[in-house]
Amino acid sequence: MDTIVITGGNVLHGEVRISGAKNSALPILASTILGGEECVINNVPQVVDVVTMGKLLRLLGAQVEHEGNRAVVRAGVIHSTQAPYELVKTMRASVLVLGPLLARWGEATVSLPGGCAIGSRPVNIHLAGLTKLGAEVSVEHGYIRARSRRLKGALIYCDVPTVTGTENLMMAACLAQGTTTIENAAKEPEIVDLADFLTKRGAKIAGAGSDIITIEGVRELRGSDHEVIPDRIEAGTYLVAGAMTKGAVVVNGCRPDHLEPVLAKLLETGVTIKVEKEAVHLDASKINRLKAVDVRTLPSPGFPTDMQAQMAALMAVAEGTSVITETVFESRFMHVEELRRMGANIRVEGNRLVITGCERLTGAPVMASDLRASAGLILAGLCADGVTEVLRVYHLDRGYERLEEKLQTLGAAIERRKA
């Protein structure tokens, strides 16, 4: 397995271009199978999760071609309605084919995602919603089995605003008979992106981005082109890198409106931020120490849990004590022990991290446990004394496109050591 090797201490300067959002590309690709016509998806990040989604769609019988950041999918015929354990265990987002398969082909067998490094991640709300739409749903031998004649529109209340749950139900409802209302829906920008794509294909969706989404079912969806929105988590990660190294970075090709909670917290640390239409400039070059700030992760429009590990790394070198409260996932703290190995002063109290910043972290070999934890460790390495080796890089490759190359452009001493 590859290792990322970072020699800390370089101040980051320059511009970086943000890739398409992984968490938008995945549901959009899954939704292509809702119709038989060609869909051309642009700005698809070249990351391992996207490759896995491509494999899954091909296994189902769709034709999928990737050319750089463009994916072309034709799902005229489906040979299989089964998402096997071998794929789902490597990527939980595989569960996103459940709704589309059921809606278009009347059946779906999808492996139940297993344990996860960031806490228990049930799919009960996905299943309860599909049942409301008239499907017979059971779990047998580790697989979700769902069957239905044409789904029927219904009122669905989500106990928790789940992102992929809302996406699965929205996709399924597109082809249902009658009107579906999803209450307490997730409001993430990725939900809006998926709704925009589905609408271009003839779906009738209102309210995406609010907590009530209404979908009037149609008989079929046509093909369409689409451009995936920029990745707000990738953008946030580079902004934190600029802040932690006391540098000045510009993230280009981003959506500043999707970054508001992150920008608000970064501003509190003392950095200067200038927002343009599609760019954010962050300047931390005149700051001696960043200030500690408290952060609470929440569903959108709150502070994203996918930026929690990166903020924990930043707080590890800030002046003062901060409290980071994780409310979305029950135990998304696998980065903490590794940050401690680099000298961070972090105490875990239930779902809170109490972090007292230190002047300097020290480089060490560390182990990544999930995608965003890995990003947090990379950031810590960038400003640590000496060399940090981040092992288990495959987590990073799942969701960051050309991370080392982009950080090198900003002046970081980072390289990949091939296994």
Catalytic residue IDs: 116
Q: Which residues contact 283 (CB under 8 A, 6 or more apart)?
A: 242, 248, 271, 272, 273, 274
308 binds ligand EPU (CB under 6 A): no
23 binds ligand EPU (CB under 6 A): yes
Span interacting with ligand EPU, options 121-129, 202-210, 357-365, 385-393, rule CB under 6 A: 121-129
When the beta carbons of 74 and 372 are compared against ligand EPU, the nearer one is 372
372 binds ligand EPU (CB under 6 A): yes
Binding residue for ligand EPU, selected from 193, 234, 306, 404, defined by CB under 6 A:
306
Binding residue for ligand EPU, selected from 122, 183, 274, 360, defined by CB under 6 A:
122
Q: Is residue 68 exposed (0-12), middle (13-18) or buried (19+ Cβ within 10 Å)?
A: exposed
139 binds ligand EPU (CB under 6 A): no
When the beta carbons of 28 and 250 are compared against ligand EPU, the nearer one is 28
Within 376-415, the residues that bind ligand EPU by CB under 6 A are 399
19 binds ligand EPU (CB under 6 A): no
Within 258-287, the residues that bind ligand EPU by CB under 6 A are none
Cα-Cα end-to-end distance for the chain: 5
212 binds ligand EPU (CB under 6 A): no
Longest Cα–Cα distance in the chain: 64
Cα separation, 369 vs 397, in Å, equals 12
311 binds ligand EPU (CB under 6 A): no
121 binds ligand EPU (CB under 6 A): yes
Q: Is residue 227 exposed (0-12), middle (13-18) or buried (19+ Cβ within 10 Å)?
A: middle
Cα separation, 338 vs 374, in Å, equals 10
256 binds ligand EPU (CB under 6 A): no
Span interacting with ligand EPU, options 63-71, 161-169, 379-387, 404-412, rule CB under 6 A: 161-169
When the beta carbons of 164 and 322 are compared against ligand EPU, the nearer one is 164
165 binds ligand EPU (CB under 6 A): yes
Within 25-44, the residues that bind ligand EPU by CB under 6 A are 26
Taking the complex as a whole, how short is the minimal distance between the CB of residue 163 and ligand EPU, in angstroms?
Answer: 4
Pair of tokens at residue 12:
């980051």
163 binds ligand EPU (CB under 6 A): yes
Binding residue for ligand EPU, selected from 32, 69, 164, 369, defined by CB under 6 A:
164
Return the residue matching tokens 């965003």: 372
When the beta carbons of 109 and 305 are compared against ligand EPU, the nearer one is 305
Within 168-207, the residues that bind ligand EPU by CB under 6 A are 186
Nearest of 76, 125, 122, 81 to residue 103 by alpha carbon: 81
Binding residue for ligand EPU, selected from 103, 110, 312, 371, defined by CB under 6 A:
371
Residues engaged in binding ligand EPU (CB under 6 A): 23, 26, 93, 120-126, 160, 162-165, 186, 305-306, 328-329, 371-372, 399
